[in-house]
Structure 1
């Protein structure tokens, strides 16, 4: 039997059911059997492909946005350029390569900090960024960042942080838990409840069995990042998949080898995620003291930054196969069809007071709701 599954079954029999959040945390971050501590999940040979893996254009356009954000902040020198959850460092590698050409002074002023806890991933990141060895530091969390103006980025970070689930049961919203039955893990209903003020308006009259997901760990991290940005000046860019407004629905999924599988099939061997509630992140960021801008789709973010134009330049004079690959990458990044990221993925920007982020983000939000 899967070794982590054995441990989880034993724990449940000994101490009682687990929350969905605790189960996710064990599967993803267990020191010995956790997904991120034992697997290389990224890329074609892994379990999922992120936007930086799809095309260098994602990092190139982000780099240009960051340079403009740095200029909007007054070209601080030095400043902290930070990525949380950098994976294989593909995104940061493309950003630095592009920024070095577009604005060498930006790279010269940057003190690069990567927030990463996995020793295995840190080794991969060091190899990818070997040209910048003297400029990169690794820290475990936000508290490890220097007291400098900060530009912070994160791609597919929040979706991997654990979420709790609550089920409408007999007119009450009760926490969903993980129990054991016949040597298998199953969903059950616990005794915990949720403050009804936390529920979205759509919860009124919801059908029996409807699920609501609440990820306090995501909100806490968003608030912590916002507090750092507010205190030290700068901006943060989050790109992830999810919904602009809080809503109901079960979005938990397990992905292995680029396919969805049963949530309990292989603990520690599959990526576990759920959709991000950007409205909740916005409220948390405001609580942290940052200015929040309306959430936009990844398609709008990339297209307005010049994705089509960059694709054209990249494919100019290339053979047909290369041009088709570039076109496929554009569709994957900005399209709206099955398996495409354009609408499903969102981009969110927060800044310190008085800093206007570069396009395509508009005017700051006046309320707690995403537009």
Structure 2
């Protein structure tokens, strides 16, 4: 989440800047060389990094990177059907809905939610993620996963879980890069937690899945990935992933899309921001777009999370704030992850853009690689907010005494410690000039900070590093010791 004028924002990497900043809150009231083992190349690909995305009001909150997008638009179904649905909810209740309810409907409504019926990632979508920028990202996460598996005592079976796997790019690179480690591969049961049928199909394709019918088991279908032969399962929720086995859980740019509640300090104390409809005097119809938010006393359940978040912070920190964002679903999810790890063993790696402190006002909307008002055309733009890593830590620690929480550290620290510098040097030894430029660009986007000093192309496409914009946190069972690179 850089400070950059809107005139330079030609695209977005979801979560933090890839080629520029992903500014925030319009919701605010204040307005080829051969790949060396263990990194075999993708089928049909050379060893260069080939997923680099080239890339006035001042924005003070940022999140993602620039990209030169191709023409792309969303069909208007979400623009009308979802608005109608939101209005009906508000009308039925006789009052407004919370920002969290609005955000959840916009993103995951089963009929017209933003994530449900389309591919929102990459050049033809709305934003770009780190795995799409460079295969090195997934390879390094693969290193972390195998190291944790070693610390776990090399269990014969382990659940490898990814929350919100997008196109499956991270998992594909992880599996490809670890395919030579036979014992590790044999231990894996892969579980993808994905609510979008469209993305499930894309993941099935990108992971090169094969469906086999077992007539010995009531014609049940078994799905495996040809990348390493491991079985793959899809679930709508983490609770559906079988327990009883140690789990390695990956959550890359997942927490930022969980619905948040926004609170504003008033003379009456903390009040919650709400979304309502209004009458258009000229047409006498209800409108949702551009309706100003207003404040309402938060319900008891929501107040509980607000009080808990304030208790976890210093009084001085809270006293300075005029606004607070709280994400109950993030706290609940973290609690479930920690409980599972405390009982079954394993660990979780959370990577996202955010801060290690109370979040004030960060909600933002991105459509077709551009920032838009979050109330415009609900369902046609991505909504996301900064991740409160401090709250995640407290929630995990409160779940069990058997787990330990490490970090957050920056993405740059994480990837460097896992060996990305050695990886890029190996790739640079034998590649063309163009491949080398793409390699440097992708490397900088992952670990650099600010504008790349080596860039000689158009100024508006200057690669912007996300190395300090993303943070990484690990939650592990205490018996396993401290995971790398959090020592």
- TM-score > 0.5, shorter chain as reference: yes
What corresponds to 2:383 in structure 1?
272
Q: What corresponds to 1:303 in structure 2?
A: 416
CA contact (8 A) 1:235 1:357 kept: no
Partner Cα separation in structure 2 for residue 167 and residue 227 of structure 1: 32
How far apart are 1:196 and its partner, in Å? Answer: 4.4
Output one character per residue of 1:139-163: Cα deviation in whole Å (capped at 9) or x when no partner: 2222222310111111001000000
- Between the aligned partners of 2:238 and 2:87, the Cα distance in structure 1 is 34
Residues 153-172 of structure 1 mapped to structure 2, 5 A cutoff: 153-170=250-267, 172=269
Tell me the SS of whatever aligns to 1:59: helix
Change (3 A) 1:197 1:92: closer
Alpha-carbon distance in 1 for matches of 2:324, 2:340 = 30
- Aligned partners of 1:62 and 1:95 also within 8 Å: yes
Q: Secondary structure at the match of 2:361?
A: coil
Distance in 1, Cα, partners of 2:309 & 2:481: 31
1:185-204 superposed matches below 5 A: 185-192=291-298, 194=303, 195-196=306-307, 198-199=309-310, 200=313, 201=315, 202-204=317-319
8 Å CA contact 1:256–1:269 kept in 2: the answer is yes
TM-superposition CA deviations, 1:14-34 (whole Å, max 9, x none): 421010000000000111110
> What does the per-residue CA deviation read over 1:217-244, in whole Å, with 9 as the maximum and x for residues that have no partner?
1000011011111110011111111001
Q: Provide the rounded CA distance (Å) in 1 between the counterparts of 2:261 and 2:466.
A: 25
Q: Is the 8 A contact 2:262 2:326 kept in 1?
A: yes
Counterpart pick for 2:111 among 28, 32, 56: 32
Q: Deviations over 1:142-188 (max 9, x none)?
A: 22223101111110010000000000112611001011223233311
Work out whether residues 336 and 342 of structure 1, in 8 Å CA contact, stay in contact via their aligned partners in 2: yes
Q: Deviations over 1:265-318 (max 9, x none)?
A: 121111100000001001111122221112101111011212222112122221
2-structure distance, mates of 1:232, 1:122: 27
Report how far residue 197 of structure 1 moved: 5.3
Say which is worse superposed, 336-345 or 149-158, in terms of deviation.
Answer: 336-345
Residues of 2 paired with 1:262 and 1:54: CA distance?
26
Q: Which residue of 1 aligns with 2:246?
A: 149
- Against the structure 1 CA distance between its residues 205 and 314, is the aligned structure 2 distance closer, same or farther, given a 3 Å change threshold? closer
Q: Do residues 283 (structure 1) and 362 (structure 2) align?
A: no
Aligned to 2:366: 255
- For structure 2, the residue ranges without an aligned partner over 5 or more in a row are 1-78, 210-223, 281-286, 452-463
Q: Distance in 2 between matches of 1:306 and 1:18?
A: 47
* Aligned ranges 1:26-65 → 2 under 5 Å: 26-65=105-144
Range moving further from structure 2, 157-166 or 315-324 = 315-324
CA positional deviation for 1:358 = 3.5
- SS of residue in 2 equivalent to 1:174: strand
Name the stretch that deviates more: 233-242 or 132-141: 132-141
Equivalent-residue separation in structure 2 for 1:116 and 1:150 (angstroms)? 17
Question: Is the Cα contact below 8 Å between 2:357 and 2:388 reproduced in 1?
Answer: yes
Of structures 1 and 2, the one scoring higher in RCO (CA 8 A, sep 6+) is: 2
2 CA distance for matches of 1:317 and 1:266?
Answer: 48
Partners of 1:51 and 1:104 lie apart in 2 by 27
- Normalized per residue, the structure richer in helix is 1
Task: Structure 1: state its 5+ residue gaps.
Answer: 363-371
**Cα drift, residue 334 of structure 1:** 1.3
Whether 1:23 and 2:102 are equivalent positions in the alignment is yes
What is the distance in 2 between the residues matched to 1:197 and 1:100? 44
- SS at the partner of 2:245? coil
Contact 1:222–1:285 (8 Å) recurs in 2: yes
Secondary structure of the residue aligned to 1:177 is strand
What is the SS of the residue equivalent to 1:238? strand
Q: The residue matched to 1:25 in structure 2 has which SS?
A: helix
TM, length-normalised to structure 2? 0.71
- Is the deviation greater in 186-195 or in 257-266? 186-195
| 2:334 is aligned with 1:214 | no
Partners of 1:297 and 1:245 in 2: how far apart? Answer: 14
Query: 1:69, 1:357 within 8 Å by CA — same for their partners in 2?
Result: no
Distance, in Å, in 2 between the alignment partners of 1:349 and 1:198 is: 20
Q: Is the 8 A contact 2:270 2:297 kept in 1?
A: no
Closer, same or farther: CA 105–278 of 1 in aligned 2, 3 Å = same
For 1:337 and 1:129, the matched residues in 2 are separated by 33
Q: Cα deviations across residues 28-76 of structure 1 (Å, max 9, x unaligned)?
A: 0111110111221111111111110010000111111111110000000
Pairs aligned (count): 357
